[in-house]
Amino acid sequence: MMNGLKGKVVLITGAGKGSGRALAEALAERGAIIAANDISPVNVEEVVSGINARGGRAAAFIEDVAKKVGAQALVKTVEDQFSRIDILVNHAAVKPSAPLLDMDEWDWHRTLDVNLTGAFLMIQSVGRVMREQGRGEILNLVAGSGKGAEEEAGAYSSSMAGLVELSHQAGLELSRFGIRVHAIDISTNVVKEVLSLLEAK
C-alpha cells in the first residue's frame, strides 16, 4: 500500500519522548515528513529542531489529543500545512502507578482519556482524512498487546487491552477504505518493526 517513506506525511502523537521520538527520528531519516505532536512543547520542539537540523522536515503541533477539540484541531492544522496525512502513529500515553484500591479517580479517567479515548479520537479524525485519500496506515503503540498486567498499573494495563481491541475493530471497519490498522507492541524493537511494516509497501 505505501510505496516507501520518502515524502510521506507521518503524524505522531506523544512524539516528545520514548518510542514516539525514536520513530519520528527514524522515519525522518528515511525521508518522511514528520508532524510531531505532544501536549508539552519542551521535548517535542527539541525533536523537531534536531530533525530539521539534520536536513529532514518536521513541525511541532501542541495539542491535547485526549480532548475532541484538541484532536480535531491537530488533524486540521496538519492537513492544512501538509495537504495530507499518510501515516498516523498513536503513541501518546500516561502511566500512573498506584494500587487499584488507592488510585485516585482522576488518574483512572486521565489514563483512559489519553491512552484509549485519545487514540479513538485520532483514528476517527485521521481516518476521515484517509478515507478521502483512499488509503493510509494507522499504528497504535501498545504495551504487551494488553496482556500481562503490571503490579500497580491497573489503569494503564486496562487502557492497553482496550487499545488492542480498538485496533482490531478499526481494522475491520476501515479496511474497505484502503486503511490498514496495526497494534504494535512497544516491548519489541518498535523502530525495526515499524520500518519493516511500512517499507514493505
Active centre residues (catalytic): 156
Q: What does the block give as the cell for 155?
A: 489503569
Please give the angle made by the CA atoms of 162, 146 and 124, to the nearest 5 degrees. 35
* Alpha helices for the chain (secondary structure H): 18-29, 41-53, 68-82, 105-112, 118-133, 154-174, 190-199
DSSP-based three-state secondary structure for 7: coil
Q: What SS3 state is found at 42? A: helix
Tell me the three-class secondary structure of 116-162, residue by residue.
HHHHHHHHHHHHHHHHHHCCEEEEEEECHHHCCCCCCCHHHHHHHHH
